[in-house]
């Protein structure tokens, strides 16, 4: 683990949402700098309702506390974990051999019944055992969808695109809200090398992580060190995913990150977290942005790929399909 003082910067989103032109330009520059350097940034004053976030943690804790048999009733066999429950010990990071020490739930976009994307975005499941689960997580999904849109506006400006460049490319994106439970570790658990979440890059455009405060998240810096990301209450961690990395010809890096098994007293306590994965529309063609190609950085991805094909390829690699 790193002993250096490297730290992911934290930025105040009010400078972008409500600031003057010069505030906004300064925010965009700081955001670009942080994402180019770390692939990660902390966001303060993002406007998410604290009460809603608190309620989301309550309902997800209630769900994961249910008996395994009940939870398995919300598992969709062959569904790639796209909706509902995925059991402990299933997801395995790309190129890893041992499964992660976690279980999770996926909430997806609720589409109109006659939507042409219904086949790609199956209907959500909702556990009847937990009161408020549906309402609370649906509201949080909508709030994070909006926050993701604002972050993408700032990212577009940084890349030299029109501010609303991403808007019609994410309006029916296959975004996923993922409540995660990493159970308390007991005995020799982890002695075989299993960790809460093995090193991986996220598959999507950007991720918004509404952290619960327990330690463990680390990112792999460009200097080759693992840097802990402190989950300060109220800060949303935003990181670049593989699709944005590819779109930007690696100008914005999708940084490897992991969740380590922490020392006591956290080891014998569960950890919960709530990432929101912002995905482009399934038919969006990921084709290198000309703004990100130069003599020094020739196009690394001459073959365009649709977001949906890219996602499917990665889901197979992480053993969800």
Residues of the shown chain interacting with ligand AKG in the complex, contacts defined by CB under 6 A: 178, 180, 197, 202, 209, 211, 217, 257, 259, 273, 275
Segment (H or E) for 151:
helix 133-158
Alpha carbons 66 and 14: distance in angstroms, whole number: 39
Q: How far is CA 268 from CA 104, 171, 186, 262, 280, in A?
A: 19, 41, 6, 9, 38
Interface contacts to Fe ion, rule CB under 5 A: 202
When the beta carbons of 30 and 145 are compared against ligand AKG, the nearer one is 145
106 binds, among Fe ion, ligand AKG, none (CB under 5 to 8 A by kind): none
What the block records as the tokens of 183 is 């159970």
Alpha carbons 136 and 59: distance in angstroms, whole number: 8
242 binds, among Fe ion, ligand AKG, none (CB under 5 to 8 A by kind): none
217 binds, among Fe ion, ligand AKG, none (CB under 5 to 8 A by kind): ligand AKG
**128: nearest Cα among 71, 61, 181, 68:** 71
* Distance, C-alpha 127 to centroid of its chain: 23
Shortest distance (Å) from residue 61 CB to ligand AKG: 14
259 binds, among ligand AKG, Fe ion, none (CB under 5 to 8 A by kind): ligand AKG
When the beta carbons of 152 and 209 are compared against ligand AKG, the nearer one is 209
The residue number with the shortest CB distance to ligand AKG is 273
When the beta carbons of 98 and 156 are compared against ligand AKG, the nearer one is 98
Shortest distance (Å) from residue 202 CB to Fe ion: 4
Half-sphere exposure of 65 (CA within 13 A, CB side): 8
Shortest distance (Å) from residue 314 CB to ligand AKG: 12
Shortest distance (Å) from residue 204 CB to ligand AKG: 9
Check if the beta carbon of residue 207 is closer than 8 Å to that of residue 147. Answer: no
When the beta carbons of 127 and 179 are compared against Fe ion, the nearer one is 179
What order do you get walking across the sheet with 257-259 strand by strand?
A: 197-200, 257-259, 217-220, 226-228
Shortest distance (Å) from residue 315 CB to ligand AKG: 13
When the beta carbons of 120 and 206 are compared against ligand AKG, the nearer one is 206
Question: How would you label 241-252 residue by residue, b for 16+ Cβ within 10 Å and e otherwise?
Answer: bbbbbbbbbebb
Alpha carbons 11 and 290: distance in angstroms, whole number: 28
When the beta carbons of 16 and 310 are compared against ligand AKG, the nearer one is 310
When the beta carbons of 154 and 176 are compared against ligand AKG, the nearer one is 176
Shortest distance (Å) from residue 258 CB to ligand AKG: 8
When the beta carbons of 24 and 200 are compared against Fe ion, the nearer one is 200
180 binds, among Fe ion, ligand AKG, none (CB under 5 to 8 A by kind): ligand AKG
Shortest distance (Å) from residue 99 CB to ligand AKG: 14
221 binds, among Fe ion, ligand AKG, none (CB under 5 to 8 A by kind): none
Shortest distance (Å) from residue 137 CB to ligand AKG: 16
Q: Where are the beta strands (DSSP E) in the chain?
A: 10-12, 40-44, 84-86, 103-106, 176-177, 180-182, 197-200, 206-211, 217-220, 226-228, 236-240, 257-259, 271-278, 285-286, 305-306
Question: Angle at Cα 142 formed by Cα 139 and Cα 148, nearest 5°?
Answer: 140
């Amino acid at each position: 683990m790193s002993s250096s003082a490297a730290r992911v910067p934290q930025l105040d989103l009010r400078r972008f949402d409500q600031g003057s032109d010069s505030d906004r330009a300064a925010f965009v520059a700081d955001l670009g700098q942080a994402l180019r350097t770390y692939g990660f940034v902390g966001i303060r004053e993002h406007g998410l309702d604290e009460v809603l976030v608190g309620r989301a943690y309550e309902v997800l804790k209630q769900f994961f506390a249910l008996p395994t048999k009940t939870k398995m009733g919300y598992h969709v066999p062959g569904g790639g974990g796209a909706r509902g429950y995925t059991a402990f010990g299933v997801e395995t990071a790309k190129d890893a051999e041992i499964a992660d020490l976690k279980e999770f739930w996926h909430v997806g976009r609720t589409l109109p019944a006659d939507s042409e994307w219904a086949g790609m975005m199956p209907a959500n499941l909702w556990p009847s055992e937990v009161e408020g689960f549906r309402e609370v997580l649906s509201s949080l999904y909508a709030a994070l969808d909006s926050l993701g849109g604002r972050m993408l506006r700032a990212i577009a400006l940084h890349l030299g695109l029109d501010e609303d460049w991403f808007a019609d490319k994410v309006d029916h994106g296959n975004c996923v809200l993922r409540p995660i439970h990493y159970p308390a570790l007991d005995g020799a658990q982890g002695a075989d090398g299993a960790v809460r979440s093995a090193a991986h890059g996220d598959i999507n455009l950007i991720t918004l992580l509404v952290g619960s405060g327990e330690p463990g998240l680390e990112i792999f810096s460009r200097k080759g060190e693992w840097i802990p990301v402190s989950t300060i209450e109220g800060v949303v961690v935003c990181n670049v995913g593989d699709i944005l990395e590819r779109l930007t010809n690696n100008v914005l890096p999708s940084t490897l990150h992991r969740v380590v098994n922490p020392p006591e007293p956290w080891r014998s306590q569960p950890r919960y977290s709530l990432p929101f994965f912002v995905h482009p529309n399934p038919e969006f063609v990921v084709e290198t942005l000309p703004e990100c190609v130069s003599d020094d950085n020739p196009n690394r991805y001459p073959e365009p790929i649709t977001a949906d094909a890219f996602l499917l390829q990665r889901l197979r690699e992480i053993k969800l399909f």
